[in-house]
Amino acid sequence: MYGLNPQQREAIHYLDGPLLVLAGAGSGKTRVIAQKIAYLVRDCEFQPHSVAAITFTNKAAKEMRERVGRLLSRSTADEMQISTFHSLGVRILREEAKVLGYKPRFSIFDAADCAGVIGDIAGTIDKGTLRHLQAIICNWKNALVTPEAARRLVTNDLEARAAHAYLSYEATLKAYQAMDFDDLIGFPVKLFSEHPDIAEKWQNRLRYLLVDEYQDTNAGQYQLLKLLTGVRAQFTAVGDDDQAIYGWRGADIDNLKKLPAEFPALKVIKLEQNYRSTARILKAANNVIAHNEKLFDKKLWSELGHGDQITVTACKDNEAEAEGVVMKLQAHRFEHRGKFRDYAILYRSNHQARGFEQQLREARIPYAISGGKSFFDKAEIKDIIAYLRLLANEEDDPAFIRAATTPKRGIGAATLQVLGTYAGERHVSLFHAAFEEGFAHRVQPRQLEPLLEFCQFINRIQQRATREPAQQVLPDLLQAIDYETFLYDHEEERIAQTRWANVCEFTNWLNGKDEEDGKTLIDLTQSIALISMLDKQDDERDEVQLSTLHAAKGLEYRHVFLVGVEEGILPHRESLDPVKLEEERRLMYVGLTRAQRSLHLSYCERRKQARDFIPSEPSRFIAEMGKEDIRFSGGKESVAPDKATGSARLDALKAMLAGNRR
């Protein structure tokens, strides 16, 4: 417990009921959670397997597990349920699947799989329409709205279309014995609500819950927390209402409001000491967030000194902004002998990155874009991996569906739906169901023939894949499915070339691993799941970080350039109603509090859109920061240096004059 402040220690030791820890930005919340887990096990004799810590990302869960492992032991940390909400949902559902009419080895569809199902039902391949339909259904599911209830909530044509697709979408998933990401929360809630005996079993199994980033929970996650903790209400929720920035994807800040009402014994502890940023940065951030209605009164403070002035630069246009930021970054790095990884350029929307990328490339400055698409997430790579997954595991139903329909080979959605229903009844995989006589009686011969042909092909390749080198089997697989032709038939030539080049790069990589490790294709396939290009150690790479404000949450950088701070961008032009405006202000607050030592804001006086220049205004949030600690440049507004800076300069001048007199 060395080095903890009194509020942190109180949060760790409090076990007399439900606890809400209001942890401001940079206040050491991750340390508090890890120390509390250690305290529960080491000092309070909780069994490790009875403690669950829930995070929102795999990265956060991994970091938490490592911290707990250092405080206790790696083996003890591995006994605990330190995971995302969704991973916990999977654990519950694998064990209780039969109660819901699913087999334990149900499939989990990713966003692309789900979009394909919705597209088939809605009769569209338009990506924009699909994205909107998927988002609407996702928000309904997160809010625990059933397909029947959704029909009563419809307010426009798009929602009506989504409601119509929702019912069929759920039926199709059930037929495939599959769940989507939202089901991993919704189904445990349904399970515990309808079966109190199962809820009690899990309450007894998980005797203490800790929830990180509580402000980001949606309605389903809140209900799951309530049902898991039961009447004992032994939990610690850690969050910050000032950093609630995910309302657009279903997060509900009302979950914070509900806690004191639904848990009258709730204890609230505030962590207000910031260990990240200088006093000036925190003052500006506090000034901005003070314009929001407060759920809980809280004000960050720091012992890290006054710090550098914050700069706000008005730029002629977006090209000038990108050029100016990169020049300023270079000069700052040279002056302070810093590393590239000390710097971050943060923006509201992904499209803003383009100009900065161009300037960084021209200046030969290495950079990385947070949240960039993994090589393994590209559609063409996922297509090939689907075949490999099926070769390695015939029970992998999502892989079966993707491989059976890409490229198209006469196996339609109707055939797959019948197959899914039959497999669910028989509690077998889709692959094995296709060979059963019972299924053959349910479809026409013309439906059965291409399905059996595909399954027999997989069997033949499978036999070779277990004994022959990957570099022999893989080219034959690609040739047999004629994937190159499929790409050129369905894409523009340039896109097809790029995608086929990615496939070749992937197969060359696999062939290289084959030569290096002497593994068969099956061996390599089983290890692919452990390989992620997103797992690279970014901290070890000396690169400037480019990131959206949403992706930067939870991260920190010594020096931050917050760009495009304009009306219509931050706050976004579609977020000007009072509720959305408050979330935009919280997004600004998140951006400001990423900075440790220096903070530089910029905006454009006009912004190029297509061929035209559109006049821009500085964001209202800049004025809300106050003027005392800010140096303005490049625009109409020029502000005198603040008193602290003026005094420092006067002292330096006096010292210099004194030296000259000697």
Q: Which residues are catalytic?
A: 29-30, 212-213, 243, 594
Report the C-alpha gap between 572 and 574 in whole angstroms: 5
Query: Residue 347 pairs with which residues in a beta bridge?
Result: 548
Distances (CA, A) of 454 to 116, 125, 268, 487, 624: 20, 25, 60, 19, 63
DSSP-assigned beta bridge partners for residue 633 = 313
Give the tokens for residue 175: 């037929």
Q: How far apart are CA 82 and CA 88, in angstroms?
A: 9
Would you say 89 and 221 are in contact if contact means Cβ atoms under 8 Å apart?
A: no
Cβ neighbourhood burial of 652 (10 Å; 0-12, 13-18, 19+): exposed
Q: Per the structure block, which two tokens stand in for 27?
A: 């206040």
- Helix (H) or strand (E) holding 197, with range, is helix 196-205
Q: φ and ψ at 19, to 5 degrees? A: -135, 135
Per residue, the 3-state secondary structure of 132-179, as one string, reads HHHHHHHHHHHCCCCHHHHHHHCCCHHHHHHHHHHHHHHHHHHHCCEE
- Find the helix packing angle between 196-205 and 183-194, rounded to 10°: 110
DSSP secondary structure code for residue 406 in this structure: S
Lookup: tokens for 619: 């964001």
Cα dihedral 496, 498, 501, 505 sign: negative
Determine phi and psi for 350, rounding to 5 degrees.
-55, -35
How far, rounded to the nearest angstrom, does the alpha carbon of residue 244 sit from its chain's CA centroid? Answer: 14
How many angstroms separate the most distant Cα atoms in the chain? Answer: 106
Q: Show the tokens assigned to 411.
A: 């196996």
Residue with tokens 């383009």: 354
